[in-house]
């Protein structure tokens, strides 16, 4: 963690916590899972006070990491920050493959190789601040790896439960980083039930997606960073790989907070929730005009990170999509794989399957007339492509035989 311009005492602007469904106020500085109404909890700030404290010039003088936005974050003391170096992630234009108006925010550069680091560094730092010692969560891979890394760095126990077809590298990563990990013969919602069932017996704190207030606060920094990197201007459209949807919800919250402190105006990007056709509960609910998405049966996709059959924050995802004038869209696995290969081969950027899903969704939305070629689009690559299986590359040469240079040239 960079210490430049950061003192042990952070001026904290949190006023209270709030039920996302009823608006009921809950006390800050207390351990919370869901609200009394069974809904996700949001952190609220004294934004007038933040506006009086934080300027764009002051922000620009700080280290280029997640913690530069500390006035809009919940941690009250820097001594509780559990950091592995959450540096600002780059924007990469896809000039060759999709065109210069399409930009990837490459979250694979974060610690543990995915954007899950944002949410989990905040949740674990707040768990430390609140005195928690034992954490548990279900995961499709990357979130569990991030929780294990930060929890162990903070000296906490980490218990992780994942579907039995979770990518092998994720399971081994969790274990190598000190997490206690189990494969479960089911999907992430089945793993979530195990975590919930074990709360009383094991005494662990449940860090499941949106079942505590602080992962949203970490994930919202994607939106804070993006707008700052674009010179405090909004893109026209954001394509976001949507499983639990924490990042989409968090970015929508971030934009409102930036407007409230005077950093941006009222213009917003169209928010697009991207799912796979084999697991598309949010798309189904959006198309039917529903506020909640029923459980998606027999979920299956190569993009394991968005294989979430039911999302507790479904109504918040749908609300953000609708308020922004955006849409929800599902893409085939074949299109995901094709987009991953196209961008890797033409622009040299290795996307994870979930990130490639946003590229496939961009192409489909363009074809369907949902967006225009001139729209400035941002795609979120949520993980490092090196963590996933890749196509074979078996070409070989026998150095003892004559080399066919024409074959090499045409390969």
Domain residue extents for the chain: 14-86, 91-98+101-113+214-387, 116-206
Among 174, 213, 177, 207, CA closest to 191: 207
CATH of region 91-98+101-113+214-387, choose from 3.40.50.1980, 3.30.70.3340, 3.40.50.300, 3.40.50.1100: 3.40.50.1100
Token pair 């990357």: residue:
142
Sequence-ordered list of residues with C-beta below 8 angstroms from that of 363, at least 6 positions apart, any chain: 98, 335, 339
pLDDT at 3: 43
Computed from CA positions of residues 81, 83, 88, 89, in that sequence, does the dihedral angle turn out positive or negative? negative
Cα distance between residue 323 and residue 362, in whole Å: 20
Sheet with 14-19: strands ordered across:
25-26, 14-19, 41-45
Distance, CA of 390 to CA of 387 (rounded, Å): 9
What integer pLDDT is reported at residue 8 of this predicted model?
53
91-98+101-113+214-387 and 116-206: identical CATH topology = yes
The per-residue pLDDT for 391 is 86
Say if residues 228 and 65 touch (Cβ distance below 8 Å).
no
Structure tokens at 364: 């489909």
> Mean pLDDT, consecutive 10-residue segments, the chain of 411 residues?
50 95 95 96 98 97 96 96 97 96 98 97 97 96 96 97 93 96 95 96 95 97 98 98 97 98 98 98 97 95 94 97 98 98 97 97 98 98 92 92 93 87
* Nearest CA-CA partner of 32 in 159, 194, 216, 155: 216
pTM: 0.93
Q: What are the structure tokens assigned to 28, written together?
A: 């800050």
Contacts of 13 (CB under 8 A, 6+ apart): 45, 46, 47, 49, 50, 53, 71, 72
pLDDT for the residue numbered 411: 87
Q: Of the candidates 51, 16, 53, 20, which has an alpha carbon nearest to the alpha carbon of residue 34?
A: 20
* Residues whose CB is less than 8 angstroms from the CB of residue 410 and which lie 6 or more positions away in sequence, other chains included: none
What's the Cα-to-Cα distance from 405 to each of 313, 354, 376, 395, 398, rounded to whole Å? 57, 38, 42, 14, 13
User: So what's the pLDDT on residue 5?
Assistant: 40
Q: Tell which residue, 133, 151, 141, 152, has the closest CA to residue 184.
A: 141
Instruction: Give residue 192's Cα distance to chain centre.
Output: 18
Q: What is the dihedral of CA 306, 103, 317, 137, to 10 degrees?
A: 40
The rounded mean pLDDT for the chain is 95
* Domain 116-206, architecture per CATH: 3-Layer(aba) Sandwich (3.40)
Tokens 């089945």, residue?
190
Q: Among positive and negative, which fits the CA dihedral 299, 305, 311, 316? A: negative
For 368, residues 6+ apart whose C-beta sits below 8 A from its C-beta are none
State the pLDDT at residue 9. Answer: 63
Evaluate whether 370 touches 335 at the Cβ level (below 8 Å). Answer: no
């Amino acid at each position: 963690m960079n210490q430049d311009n950061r003192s042990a005492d952070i001026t904290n602007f949190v006023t209270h916590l709030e039920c996302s469904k009823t608006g009921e106020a809950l006390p800050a500085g207390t351990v919370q899972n869901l609200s009394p109404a069974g809904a996700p909890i949001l952190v609220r700030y004294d934004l007038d006070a933040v506006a009086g404290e934080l300027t764009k010039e002051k922000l620009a003088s700080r280290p280029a990491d997640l913690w530069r936005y500390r006035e809009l974050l919940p941690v009250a003391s820097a001594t509780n920050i559990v950091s592995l170096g959450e540096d600002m992630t780059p924007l990469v234009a896809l000039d060759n493959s999709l065109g210069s108006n399409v930009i990837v925010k490459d979250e694979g550069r974060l610690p543990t190789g995915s954007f899950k680091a944002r949410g989990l560094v905040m949740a674990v730092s707040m768990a430390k601040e609140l005195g928690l010692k034992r954490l548990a969560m279900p995961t499709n891979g990357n979130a569990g790896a991030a929780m294990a890394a930060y929890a162990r760095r903070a000296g906490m126990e980490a218990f992780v439960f994942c579907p039995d077809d979770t990518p092998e590298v994720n399971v081994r990563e969790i274990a190598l980083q000190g997490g206690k990990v189990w494969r479960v013969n089911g999907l992430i919602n089945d793993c979530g039930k195990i975590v919930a069932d074990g709360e009383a017996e094991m005494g662990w704190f449940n860090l499941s997606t949106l079942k505590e207030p602080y992962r949203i606060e970490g994930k919202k920094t994607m939106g804070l960073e993006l707008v700052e990197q674009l010179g405090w201007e909004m893109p026209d459209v954001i394509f976001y790989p949507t499983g639990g949807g924490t990042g989409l919800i968090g970015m929508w919250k971030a934009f409102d907070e930036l407007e409230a402190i005077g950093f941006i105006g009222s213009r917003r990007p169209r928010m697009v929730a991207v799912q796979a056709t084999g697991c598309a509960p949010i798309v189904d609910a959006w198309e039917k005009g529903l506020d909640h998405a029923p459980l998606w049966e027999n979920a299956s996709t190569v993009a394991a990170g968005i294989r979430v059959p039911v999302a507790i924050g479904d109504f918040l995802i749908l609300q953000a999509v609708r308020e922004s004038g955006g849409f929800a869209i599902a893409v085939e696995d074949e299109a995901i794989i094709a987009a991953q290969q196209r961008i890797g081969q033409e622009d040299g950027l290795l996307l994870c399957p979930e990130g490639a899903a946003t590229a496939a969704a961009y192409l489909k939305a363009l074809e369907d007339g949902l967006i225009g070629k001139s729209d400035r689009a941002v795609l979120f690559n949520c993980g490092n492509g090196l963590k996933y299986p890749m196509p074979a590359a078996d070409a070989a040469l026998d150095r003892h035989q004559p080399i066919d240079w024409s074959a090499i040239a045409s390969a």
